[in-house]
Structure 1
Amino acid sequence: MASIKGTFDTISGLVGTITDLALRLIVALLVVDVLFPASSEISENIGRLVGQFGDNGLAGLIAILLFLLLYKNR
């Protein structure tokens, strides 16, 4: 059983590292998009994503709150 727990810990650490890297990359791309408009479309894509959450009303609000809750607890 110890090897299974070790495997899950390793996978969890790897997923956490990849997630942190992805979030840092998104922030870097947002900064580049602000400094050099039209260089990437990440701000437009994030705007569309937030708009889709808003179009879904209460379900979208609950999804955003769950995402923020999960992000805060990691």
Structure 2
Amino acid sequence: MGRAADMLGTTQAFLRSLDEAKLITPQRSPGGHRRYSRYQLRLAARARELVDQGTPLDAACRIIVLEDQLSEARELNAEYGQQD
């Protein structure tokens, strides 16, 4: 967790708050350490960006979920458009 926080330029407490908000749920190593995927780190970086801009954490998490859903919908639309 410390390495992930350093990479993102944030605190471990911030990463824990994202876990508590259910935005990211890291895997656990056998020793109990949190392990983040690249995707989770991208979400955490986006959350940090929004919070740094003054967005409350809960709103930032909701924005990120909606952005992710929009991206998935665009990908599906592109796939269906190619099937014609």
Larger Rg belongs to = 1
- Return the TM-score normalized by structure 1: 0.38
The answer to which structure has the higher strand fraction is: 2
- Return the TM-score normalized by structure 2: 0.34
Greater RCO, CA 8 A, separation 6+: 2
The answer to which structure has the higher helix fraction is: 1
